[in-house]
Chains A and B, each alone.
Chain A
Amino acid sequence: MEALLSNVDWSEIGWASWDTLVMVGMSLLFSVLIGLPIGVLLFLTGKRQLLEQPVAYAVLSFVVNVLRSVPFIILLIVMIPFTVMLIGTSLGVAGAIPPLVAGGAPFFARLVETSLREVDRGIIEATQAMGANVRQIIFGALLPEALPGIIAGITVTAITLVSYAAMSGVIGGGGLGDLAIRFGYQRFQTDVMVITVALLVIFVQVLQMVGDRLVLYFSRK
């Protein structure tokens, strides 16, 4: 057993796991903070919706699509100058967060738009008939009704961010991905690779489980 995992430095693994948690946590937080309003705007400005605005919708939708169609590995590299400008470095945990948000926020925005569209139009109509203004319709009816869908969206986004975060190891992003590349790949330490992959799998499983529980808890249908 000792020989089998001879290359594994457990304290290194511990720190890398912590870094991954921080990267996913922070980028998820910002992805939700930025993606949620964009998703709501996408929904509201869409065809036959409350604030129908074909031009605004087209522009917003285009930006989201562009960010989503760039492969994440390319986005990581393209974002480097911007990241340096924003936080002073493109390396480490902090340097990985801006590209992660650039990848996560538009992804989450689309998921929000989709789950808002799932809300029965009749509920919007009923709320309007009660004399609600647009803000009240959004916060009183739309978001609470779409909450299970939005939570499911957060779960999917979090899991995507786990894999993105691992990818950011390529440009020196830190975390488990960085470990896998530096030791597992470049130094042929297969045991390190196996451990990091196993940890990522566990991480994703836990996220999915927690997400599913929350969706179930908030579903009243």
Chain B
Amino acid sequence: MIVFDQVQKSYQVGGRAIPALHPTDMTIETGEVFGIVGHSGAGKSTLVRLINLLEPPTGGRILIDDEDITGYNPAQLRAFRRKVGMIFQHFNLLSSKTVADNIAFPMKLAGIYSRTEIRERVEELLARVSLTDHANKYPSQLSGGQKQRVGIARALACRPTILLCDEATSALDPQTTQSVLKLLADINRELGLTIVLITHEMDVVRRVCDRVAVMDAGRVVEMGPVSEVFLHPQHPTTRDFVFESESIDHQELQEDLQKANGRILRLTFKGESTYQPLLGSVARKSGVDFSILSGRIDHIKDTPYGQLTLSLVGGDLDVAMQEFEAADVHVEVLR
């Protein structure tokens, strides 16, 4: 468990303290995939580097499994960092070492593993990230996705309990992003390690995260389970991110709604209700006519969800609302 207790960070620039992270409280549970989303400069990069103290905080306490890491001496800190893997946007592999040597590097630095242990672990990790055939290549001979898989294998070498991902998919094409995210999800499930992932793409959060924190200008402005934050965003920044990820033009949507007749509702289905043939039965029972203005069906991690914007004309609106609620559908009246 990672606990931030009034953690803050500011940089001295020309004698003035510029805050990068305002005092923040946050708890990341063991074994969860925690996303931190925000625009560049929002402070997410600082926040993730506080967890392994690449950036020391200027105030507050950071507790990892109830131990305050801000009080560590250099030797303790180095030992702690071995238990926290990290992967990067630009991979940061050593160009002078082969794939196998890159993966072995953190184990060699640790100085507590035998040659045999290192060789066996490297083979095991190469297999896990499906790069066994590339063991003796140099990073420059690999594609972006392969490089990031080397990065992941390297981060896992010393069997960490926490994996930090710094914009790990931002330099990858959509297809490669998918496969890297799937790998991260598998690792989380099979090894039970906590993943903290920062990104500027809500889609990444939607695919793999359990909970998410939204950052804006050095503050966490919204935090909660992904389904909650994603389907019912509260803060304007969060809404921007959600709309962006659904490629919805907010203004266009408003114009479309203007043209529609009757009441306008937004229905949110989650889990099993997504697959229920609900609209037809509600229409029959209430006598209401529907017109679908916009809609989307997708997954949040492993949970299917649907979101529909409808206009309703005629019939008994109250009956319709009751029916929806009885079916566990979240209803939001837009007009």
Residues of A within 8 A of B (CB): 120, 122-123, 125-133, 136, 140-141, 144-145, 147, 218, 220-221
Contacts and interface: CB of A to CB of B under 8 A. Distances in A.
Interface in B63-117: 74, 77-82, 84, 86, 88, 90, 92-97, 105-106, 108-110
Nearest to B81: A131
Nearest to A126: B92
Interface of B: 52, 54, 74, 77-82, 84, 86, 88, 90, 92-97, 105-106, 108-110, 138-140, 158, 164
B92 A133 contact: no
B139 A220 contact: yes
* B contact face: mostly helix, strand, loop, or mixed: mixed
B105 A130 contact: yes
A145 B97 CA distance: 9
A122 B78 contact: no
Contacts of B139: 220
Contacts of B96: 144-145, 147, 218, 220
B109 A131 contact: yes
Contact of B94 (A129, A141, A218): A141
A126 B106 CA distance: 10
A129 B110 contact: no
A129 B78 contact: no
Contacts of A127: 105, 109
Contact of B88 (A122, A132, A144, A220): A122
Contacts of A125: 54, 88, 92
B80 to A, nearest CB: 8
A129 B52 contact: yes
B138 A220 contact: yes
Given A131-B110, A220-B140, 13 more contacts: A120-B92, A125-B88, A126-B86, A126-B92, A127-B109, A129-B81, A129-B164, A131-B80, A131-B106, A144-B96, A220-B95, A220-B96, A221-B140
B279 to A, nearest CB: 51
A133 B78 contact: yes
29 contacts: A120-B92, A122-B90, A122-B92, A123-B92, A125-B54, A125-B88, A126-B88, A126-B93, A127-B109, A129-B52, A130-B158, A131-B77, A131-B79, A131-B81, A131-B82, A131-B106, A131-B109, A131-B110, A133-B74, A133-B78, A136-B109, A140-B108, A141-B94, A144-B94, A144-B96, A144-B97, A145-B96, A220-B96, A220-B140
Contact of A140 (B82, B86, B105): B105
Nearest to A140: B109
Contacts of A140: 105, 108-109
Given A123-B94, A220-B95, A221-B95, A130 B106 contact: yes
